[in-house]
Chains A and B, each alone.
Chain A
Amino acid sequence: DTAVSQTPKYLVTQMGNDKSIKCEQNLGHDTMYWYKQDSKKFLKIMFSYNNKELIINETVPNRFSPKSPDKAHLNLHINSLELGDSAVYFCASSQDAKVGNSPLHFGNGTRLTVT
């Protein structure tokens, strides 16, 4: 009954490959997010979707493409992986886009290692 679940938990791949990370939430939330945590534990938002609509798109290389087939799912596809993409990627959700109203619920993260 995990609230926000991400797969896979670990992902090791070579430079130049394309990979996807999947995220699903069973909380009935309208808004989902992708955050990137680098090797120094710095967390930065990448994208946010509200009811399948992209509402936050930070300065992220266009090799990263989020896709939200429905409001319970937000997947992250990464093309042409680079060494610098190695990080832990966290999916999160909130009741709505006003984070002040409802807290973020985080998944357990996907550790991506690019060799």
Chain B
Amino acid sequence: AQSVTQPDIHITVSEGASLELRCNYSYGATPYLFWYVQSPGQGLQLLLKYFSGDTLVQGIKGFEAEFKRSQSSFNLRKPSVHWSDAAEYFCAVLAPPGGATNKLIFGTGTLLAVQP
């Protein structure tokens, strides 16, 4: 069965520092992968997605993610974190990809705190 693992429950970075949030997936074929962000008291917002092609995808708010099939990973990165990036980040895989009906399988999230 498809699954998503986010190994880091909580990460703290200093404002201006770089960020990498880890995501590993389990899926037999090429997955469709997503990163969502949830600000406190808000719903989830899509940051970026990967279906195929270029393995480095750009998203909103200056985020990017790289798909590495050999590592079954889809890590989220940002070169310089802003205080407003403090939020919960969720990685998700689509199961099954491209099907007529499908559903997102979410990871357990990584809570990002940003120090001034």
| Residues of chain A at the chain B interface (Cβ within 8 Å) | 4, 40-45, 48, 50, 55-56, 90, 92, 97-100, 103-109
Contacts and interface: CB of A to CB of B under 8 A. Distances in A.
Contact of A99 (B42, B44, B102): B102
Interface stretch (B19-27, B63-71, B74-82, B90-98): B90-98
Contacts of B34: 103
Given A41-B109, A43-B90, A99 B43 contact: no
B55 interface: no
Given A40-B108, A42-B106, A43-B106, A100 B98 contact: yes
Given A42-B106, A43-B106, A48-B101, A103 B43 contact: no
A64 B97 CA distance: 27
Interface in B12-71: 32, 34, 41-46, 49, 51
Nearest to B45: A106
A4 B45 CA distance: 12
Contacts, number: 62
B43 A92 contact: yes
B29 to A, nearest CB: 13
Interface of B: 32, 34, 41-46, 49, 51, 88, 90, 94, 97-104, 106, 108-109, 111
B103 A41 contact: no
Nearest to B106: A43
Nearest to B46: A103
B74 to A, nearest CB: 15
Contact of B94 (A40, A92, A100): A100
B104 A99 contact: yes
Contacts of B103: 45, 48, 56, 99
Contact of B101 (A97, A107, A108): A97
A109 B101 CA distance: 23
